[in-house]
């Protein structure tokens, strides 16, 4: 283990850049996993780490020491004083352990006609995007398609909110949704209000569904709305205009889980 004490150290500069700059992540193909849960999830998924970094106080945590032992010989390890670790961390409350990881190579998504999936349209909030992926993974969804305008899926904040969901499903960014879903034979459901919108709880959701969820505020784009074969709304007896997109997605996806079980 190498002990580092200076902000001018090349590794410190590199991690700080990866934590704060989407351009740097795209240029290097690397991202930052912040926290023991994400590091453990990546190792469980068999993904190679390129660097482990632990804070001085983090060294005293049994969970961190176990992960360092588990990674022994697989990648270099560095220790930082707590203040320097906070400087390079992308989160407000650093846990004391982070790792650098190569982001998966971009591949063309393969959509199965017999499987459900989620489509996220220009979801810009990192917390919402990560929560949507976590919710989908928990509901057994194996594929997420993201349009242009979404937050960077492999950014540290989205990864942190996803809590390991990225390693349990396929996540594709900058997807041409009309082209990819052109041959999809399942239901394509858009959560929108309107005269043609049906109550979620009146639908038969036993079959495969491509769920379309739009950005905070403006909702789905007109092009994606036009693709929907079913318009869906969630009945809300309370005096509330709308739900957060992550909350709405959770209700829809787990209504499908409920019906199937």
Residue 148: pLDDT band (50, 70, 90) is: very high
The more confidently predicted of residues 111 and 91 is 111
Share of the chain above pLDDT 70, in %: 100
Residue-level length of the chain: 261
Between 76-90, 99-113, 153-167, the lowest mean confidence (pLDDT) is in 99-113
Mean pLDDT of all residues in 58-82: 94
Mean pLDDT of all residues in 145-150: 95
pTM: 0.93
Share of the chain above pLDDT 90, in %: 84
Q: Which of 182, 179, 211 is nearest to 108 (CA)?
A: 179
- Domain 2-102: give its CATH code: 3.30.1330.30
Give the pLDDT score at 256: 97
Indicate if the pLDDT at residue 216 is higher than 90: no
Residue 24: pLDDT band (50, 70, 90) is: very high
Domain 117-260, second-level architecture: 3-Layer(aba) Sandwich (3.40)
Give the pLDDT score at 119: 98
Residue 163: pLDDT band (50, 70, 90) is: very high
Mean pLDDT of all residues in 102-127: 92
Indicate if the pLDDT at residue 242 is higher than 90: no
Give the pLDDT score at 80: 97
Q: What is the DSSP string of 199-258?
A: EGGGS---S-EEEEEEBTTTBS-HHHHHH-SEEEE----SS-S---HHHHHHHHHHHHHH
Domain range annotation of the chain: 2-102, 117-260
């Amino acid at each position: 283990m190498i002990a580092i004490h200076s902000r001018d150290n090349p590794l410190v500069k590199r991690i700080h850049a990866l934590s704060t700059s989407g351009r740097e992540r795209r240029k290097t193909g690397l991202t930052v996993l912040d926290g023991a849960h994400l590091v453990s999830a990546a190792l469980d998924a068999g993904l190679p780490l390129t660097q482990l970094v632990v804070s001085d106080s983090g060294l005293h945590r049994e969970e961190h020491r176990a992960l360092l032992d588990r990674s022994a010989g697989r990648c270099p390890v560095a220790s930082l004083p707590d203040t320097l670790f906070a400087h390079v961390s992308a989160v407000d409350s650093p846990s004391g352990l982070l790792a650098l990881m190569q982001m998966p190579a971009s591949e063309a998504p393969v959509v199965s006609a017999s499987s459900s999936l989620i489509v996220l349209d220009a979801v810009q909030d990192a917390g919402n995007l990560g929560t949507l992926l976590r919710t989908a993974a928990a509901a057994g969804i194996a594929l997420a398609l993201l349009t242009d305008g979404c937050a960077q899926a492999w950014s540290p904040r989205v990864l942190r909110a996803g809590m390991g969901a990225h390693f349990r499903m396929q996540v594709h960014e900058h997807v041409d949704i009309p082209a990819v879903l052109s041959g999809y034979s399942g239901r394509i459901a858009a959560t929108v209000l309107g005269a043609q919108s049906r109550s979620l709880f009146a639908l038969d959701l036993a079959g495969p569904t491509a769920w379309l969820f739009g950005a905070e505020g403006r909702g789905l784009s007109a092009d994606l709305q036009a693709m929907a074969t079913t318009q869906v709304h969630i009945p809300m007896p309370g005096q509330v205009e709308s739900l957060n997109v992550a909350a709405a997605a959770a209700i829809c996806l787990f209504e499908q889980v409920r019906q199937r079980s």
